Amino acid sequence: MNKSLLSINDLSKQEILDLIEFARNFKNDDGSFKKETLFPDKTVANVFCEPSTRTKSSFEIAAKNLGCSVVGFDASSSSIEKGESIYETVDALGLMGVDLCVLRHPDSVIRELDEYMPEMVFINGGEGSISHPTQALIDLMTIIDSKGSIDDLNIVIVGDLDHSRVTSSFVEGISNFSFNSLTFCGHPSMSSKYLDPALGRYEPDLDLAVQDADVIITLRIQHERFEEELNLDLDDYKHAYELTSERVQQARGDVIVMHPGPVNYIEISESVYQSDNSVIRNQVANGVAIRMAVLARYLSS
Ligand code: ASP
């Protein structure tokens, strides 16, 4: 195992499965999380230079559940706002005794930081549109929890594919497994990277894409990542790409519906979000368990 988790490609299939199994150990039968004092001498900093609710809070809860000290770091009220570079910021945290830095940043800076600071462990908490490895672990865990395994599944990913680091890391992770089919669906202006994918196929029609699906992953439009104003009629968009109950009925009866959050109710209807097919709230809970497993592994290696 490398010193840091920069990408899901850093992990072998066995390491992915081991981390998922390890994460399960941190969950009690009633759904609560174990509280341990495994790392009382370790300090974790959450350096988030983009907004976050689930990822940031779950890393913080996970670190506290493991007995670490946590530095809650708010980029908007830090010296980053005064023009300090991320390098000096993280270097300063290292000098103060931070052992592990969870980093979310709009640019691809994490690899360079990892090389520049051999003593610091980095966990990628979201890298622009590029990658989000712990989200992929959560998604694989949630699928295995519901379906038993990834084998033979028909998986559909629908939404703003081009800007989705959730999709890119999921594809890297799932490439280790023998699923039956992987279908990408989205508005052509948000699917340029997936029109002719190396893995899976592109299907522009959501009604066709969801036929016989076992897993449907929905994604919001990431307005903040568009360089130009998005010239889109949202009603037309919803008509074509919203996952509705009618569309869920085209999938397998036991299909699971996922979403990394935050949900905008444009890409998915409220009734699907609240339906028995939805495992979106399980993903949130698995977030704490996976991040406990990742922190524990990387703090001990
Ligand atoms: N929460 C996910 C992310 O950080 C997905 C999203 O923001 O739409 O990439």
Is residue 65 very low, low, confident or very high in pLDDT (cuts 50, 70, 90)? very high
Does the pLDDT value for residue 79 go beyond 80?
A: no
Check pocket membership of 159 for ligand 1, CB cut-off 6 A: no
* pLDDT confidence of residue 72: 81
* pLDDT confidence of residue 35: 97
Helix 165-174 to helix 133-147 angle, to the nearest 10 degrees?
A: 60
Which residue from 164, 217, 223, 258 has its CB within 8 A of the most atoms of ligand 1, so it is best to mutate?
A: 164
Q: Which of 33-62 are b and which e, b meaning 16 or more Cβ less than 10 Å from the residue's Cβ?
A: beeeeebeebbbbbbbbbebebbbebbbbb
Does the pLDDT value for residue 73 go beyond 80?
A: no
Residue type, 249: Q
Instruction: Give the CATH class of 133-279.
Output: alpha beta
Does the pLDDT value for residue 80 go beyond 80?
A: no
Maximum Cα–Cα distance across the chain: 56
pLDDT tens track for 217-240: 999 999 889 888 778 899 999 999
* pLDDT confidence of residue 84: 76
pLDDT tens track for 188-203: 999 999 999 999 999 9
Q: How far is ligand 1, taken at its centre, from the CA of residue 221, in Å?
A: 10
Strands in 227-276 per DSSP E: 256-258
For the CA of 160, the nearest atom of ligand 1? 8
**Hey, what CATH topology would domain 8-128+284-300 get?**
Rossmann fold (3.40.50)
pLDDT tens track for 48-58: 999 899 999 99
Burial of 202 (0-12, 13-18, 19+ CB in 10 A): middle
Shortest-distance Cα residue to atom 2 of ligand 1: 260
User: Percentage of the chain with pLDDT > 90?
Assistant: 91
Q: Which residues contact 121 (CB under 8 A, 6 or more apart)?
A: 3, 4, 99, 100, 101, 298, 299
Q: Where are the domains of the chain?
A: 8-128+284-300, 133-279
Q: How far is ligand 1, taken at its centre, from the CA of residue 106, in Å?
A: 12
